[in-house]
Structure 1
Amino acid sequence: MDLGSFEADNSSSCRLASHIPEVCRTEDCCLGIDEAGRGPVLGTQPHELLLCISNQQVLQNYSKTLTETERENLFQKLDEAKSYIGWALQILSPNTISTSMLQRTKYNLNALSHDTAIGLVQYALDSGVQLKEVFVDTVGPAEKYEEKLSQLFPGIEVTVRPKADSLFPVVSAASICAKVARDRVVKDWKFAEDLGEVDTDYGSGYPNDPKTKAWLLKYMDPVFGYPQFVRFSWSTAQTLMDSKAATVHWDDDDEETGEKAAQRQNNRSMLSYFSASAGGKDHNPTRKTHRFFTERRLKSLNTL
């Protein structure tokens, strides 16, 4: 599984795929879809489509308690069965997840997951796969999701079930592939931000993991927040920002200006922060200009 395309720009989503076996274009095939990394506050959420010839007996149900090494070994076996098994992977970046959930017209995680799965099924059809059955691990109410997919893909038998990875071998195999992709991406994450020597001991990435919480506190910038590795739309990240980051007062035409309000609350306004970086009256010569400005070659202007 070559993740180079995603690693080159991990700020956006990316689709990767294996070679599609020729038999999948000439014989009836089944397809399984599962996702990994839905809950963590750190890292990606990969969606995996795995397709094979209709006989699922070549696969088996795999336990969720497998170790990372065991998952890697199983994926290697699946990847070697190129004559009758193929896969496609849609990696949702943390940045994509957060900006989708926080945009003006909210695009929630369930809708994002549904659309990603739909895109993967369409990819298989566009690639000439002779698709007969689709098995999907549900996101939200299973009956509604199944009806939605059945209407979009008439003529294909669609089955959506909770915990489908424990019921259908093709979904179980897709789950293994998705987890392997997340394991690799999180382990070898390429930080776009200049954070120096980054501590990669960030635990599981789940909000209740003490190591994850400690990492979030360590790498939170009080003004600019988190690196793009963090899903900043998660309540865990937002709560830490609210309690630990610099207070910001936004101007309101019906109230006093942000500058005056900040002074009244004994806080520095955003304007004073910018003027300080340019050498204003609060300028601290020992403080370096933040990378946000240097990377974009930004400078403050006193006159226009």
Structure 2
Amino acid sequence: MDLGPFEADNSSSCRLASDIPEMCRTEDCCLGIDEAGRGPVLGPMVYGICFCPISKKEELKGLKVADSKTLSESERENLFQKLDEAKSYIGWALQILSPNTISTSMLQRTKYNLNALSHDTAIGLVQYALDSGVQLKEVFVDTVGPAEKYEAKLSQLFPGIEVTVRPKADSLFPVVSAASICAKVARDRVVRDWKFAEDLGEVDSDYGSGYPNDPKTKAWLLKYLDPVFGYPQFVRFSWSTAQTLMDNKAVNVHWDDDDEETGEKVAQRQNNRSMLSYFSVSAGGKEHNPPHQTHRFFTERRLKSLNTL
């Protein structure tokens, strides 16, 4: 697994993939989807797919793949090596979503929550397999949100493919277990060898599991909180854990416009009266409403009230 493309720019999302086995282009195939790193406040979330011919399901099961959360790091590494060595019939692909991608998606003006991001990432990976020539007939997915709705959504998007969405799918279907292992191995390696773009000097790499309730993770977050600039991009700053620490420990910033009534509020206040009043004029052609000073929100946008239509 060459993580070079992601390490070259770990501020954005990156896709990595194995070669497509020739068997997967000619035989009906099954595909599993799972993720690693959904909950941590540190590091990326990685979505993985693994696929193989349906005729090779027993061989895949014989590799003794299991839910990656039940395995040690060394066991996961060994199993990934076995999956990689079975490249004549097994293929995989990964989508690494950087902490920066996750945070900016969740905090943008039009909300893009983690479930929607997860669904779109999984859909993109299935489409990648199809575009690469994999003859997909079965897809197994570990659910995000209500399983029935997710299954219906995927079935509608990919007609002709039998879609199965189940909670704990990584412990039920070996092909999902294999995807789970690929995703977890990639995340472990990325987190362990993270290249900090910020000038932090020698960084303490003992940040624990990355989950918000881990004491080591909490201590690391406190240590590397800059009171002005916040956190390095290794941190998901959209997580409430990070936001709370910044609110409590970082320097308060006062913007000059904070004391000025915003244009939106002015517009709302000025328009609280009946909309019909804008079209109500006196016999002399004047508006019944008393004159008022126009806020710069309107003047800057060259907006004026209309007397006639």
TM-score (norm 1): 0.83
Shift of the 143–223 alpha-carbon distance from structure 1 to 2, 3 Å rule, reads same
The aligned residue for residue 23 of structure 2 is 23
Pairwise mapping of residues 33-182 of structure 1 onto structure 2 (< 5 A)?
33-54=33-54, 55-60=56-61, 61-63=65-67, 64-182=69-187
Q: Deviations over 1:140-190 (max 9, x none)?
A: 000000000000000000001111001111001100111000000000000
> Which among 233, 240, 246 is matched to residue 228 of structure 1?
233
**Distance between the aligned counterparts of 2:187 and 2:178, measured in 1?**
15
How much is the aligned-residue C-alpha RMSD, in angstroms? 1.1
C-alpha deviation, 1:254, in angstroms: 5.3
State the SS of the aligned residue for 2:182: helix
What 5-or-longer segments of structure 1 have no aligned partner? 257-304
Return the letter of the residue paired with 1:233.
Answer: S
Shift of the 223–171 alpha-carbon distance from structure 1 to 2, 3 Å rule, reads same
Larger radius of gyration: 2
Q: Deviations over 1:87-124 (max 9, x none)?
A: 00000000000000000001000000000000000000
**Distance between the aligned counterparts of 2:247 and 2:259, measured in 1?**
24
C-alpha deviation, 1:250, in angstroms: 2.5
State the SS of the aligned residue for 1:215: helix
Pairwise mapping of residues 201-212 of structure 1 onto structure 2 (< 5 A)?
201-212=206-217
C-alpha deviation, 1:8, in angstroms: 0.2
**Distance between the aligned counterparts of 2:51 and 2:242, measured in 1?**
36
TM-score (norm 2): 0.81
**Distance between the aligned counterparts of 2:222 and 2:53, measured in 1?**
48
State the SS of the aligned residue for 2:20: coil
Q: Deviations over 1:23-51 (max 9, x none)?
A: 00000000000000000000010000100
What 5-or-longer segments of structure 2 have no aligned partner? 262-309
C-alpha deviation, 1:251, in angstroms: 3.0
Aligned pair count reads 256
The aligned residue for residue 9 of structure 1 is 9
C-alpha deviation, 1:253, in angstroms: 6.5
State the SS of the aligned residue for 1:214: helix
**Distance between the aligned counterparts of 2:41 and 2:187, measured in 1?**
13
Return the letter of the residue paired with 1:197.
Answer: E
Of the structure 1 ranges 66-75 and 245-254, higher mean CA displacement relative to structure 2 is found in 245-254
